[in-house]
Chain A
């Protein structure tokens, strides 16, 4: 096969590259990115004329991936290891030489816990609604740190605007001096699981889990833990609740019962993948 000498010019003068006749030339260094799986990376590049495919190779490991166009995915990488990649074009005459190295990337396993939405108190009375909840997660979790501007509110929860008597809830409540069981069925909301508001500087806390919220074959069972400390007497609650519906949850309404959250309060909705 013939060898062709190609002259190129740059800021440091001219140089010559000997390439096999017909093979693609050396490509510019590609750009690499984490593939988002923990074991892959994507290598992006500018296409060259006449190429039929492109091959990326890793350092370390010499793992390769091939594609007809940008980007090339390289698989089999080790999570937490830093890699660079070179790219080479192939045409009907064969594969050209590899480019200079890309930027360095470190594949990481994607997190399963993401924020969906958050509400910060305004000091004004009003209910809180999380709407247009995507169905792309497996579980939902509500986390609340709440302090009200007036005493004696009791928040309740409904799903998808359903105000029918399709809910039940139960809990175990400890007050520091007694333990109380509670529970009702065929009611219009999940209640009794939220600590009362206070007018002190001590916010109530709550974590509520809703498994398989997007299922269309299961009734929705929730679990929650919440507590209220007022530096004089407190209340600790573990509870459960049910919405007797096989509809996927797309909206969560938290009825504040006329209470107003202070501007230091926050209720956040998270999605857990899986």
Chain B
């Protein structure tokens, strides 16, 4: 019997890294799930989390293939915003250097039908940044990669030049239709 929830790739940082590359993703699954626990070294309380498919372009060049809509709550307000034709999927805010020590943001991204090259790639993300205080960031997002291209690589990186700290972890799972 085929299993339905399988680890594809695991990366737990033993040294700081500016990008985590999940490459050579097999096309044999139906859906993908990315689970990450991360924090950055940037001297801020929080910093944006960025994701690109298939091509890593941190300089944010001419690639404008991503759109995203989010609901953001911080404990005292709720807002919603859309970004259209952008260079990456901006998933929300994660902990940074001046966050409370030992705090790591929790992220899950679900990408259905990632290997289907007949449709654009829609995904949803759920990112939480707690800071042991009254303010937190909850991001519920929908994103569109407006190419009919299968997802074979995923690149995860902060949207400001900085590193993910040691102990940040990134795990990609495949869900197989059975």
Contact = CB atoms under 8 A, between A and B. Distances in A.
Interface of A: 80, 108-113, 138-139, 168, 170-172, 179-185, 209, 211-212, 215, 217-219, 221-223, 225, 238-242, 244, 246, 272-274
Contact of A274 (B7, B105, B106): B7
B89 interface: no
B94 to A, nearest CB: 10
Given A109-B3, A274-B10, A218 B102 contact: yes
B interface bracket (residues with beta carbon within 8 Å of A): 35 or more
A190 B54 CA distance: 38
B21 interface: no
Contact of A181 (B37, B77, B104, B140): B77
A240 B102 contact: no
A181 B135 CA distance: 11
Given A221-B37, A221-B103, A273 B136 contact: no
B37 A218 contact: yes
Contacts of A209: 35, 106, 108
Contacts of B35: 139, 209, 211, 272, 274
B100 interface: yes
A172 B140 contact: yes
Given A240-B130, A273-B7, A274-B10, A181 B75 contact: yes
A60 to B, nearest CB: 20
A215 B171 CA distance: 15
Nearest to B126: A223
A217 B37 CA distance: 12
Contact of B104 (A110, A113, A219, A274): A219
Contact of B130 (A110, A168, A181, A215): A168
- Interface centre among B76, B104, B128, B140, by most chain A C-beta atoms within 10 angstroms, is B128
A-side interface mostly: strand
Contacts of B112: none
Contacts of B5: 111-113, 272
A238 B2 CA distance: 32
Contacts of B7: 112, 273-274
Given A112-B6, A113-B4, A185 B132 contact: yes
Interface string B133-166: 1111010100000000000000000000000000
A168 B78 contact: no
Contacts of B131: 242
B31 to A, nearest CB: 13
A219 B132 contact: yes
Contacts of A273: 7
B80 to A, nearest CB: 9
Contacts of A179: 71, 78
B6 A170 contact: no
Contacts of A172: 71, 73, 78, 138, 140
A170 to B, nearest CB: 4
Given A112-B6, A181-B77, A221-B106, A238 B138 contact: yes
A171 B140 CA distance: 11
A239 to B, nearest CB: 7
A20 to B, nearest CB: 44
Top 4 A-B residue pairs of the complex, sorted by shortest distance between their CB atoms: A183-B75, A240-B128, A111-B3, A242-B130
B102 A168 contact: no
12 contacts: A110-B3, A170-B73, A170-B75, A183-B136, A184-B134, A209-B106, A212-B169, A221-B106, A238-B71, A238-B73, A240-B136, A274-B173
Contacts of B74: 170, 181, 183
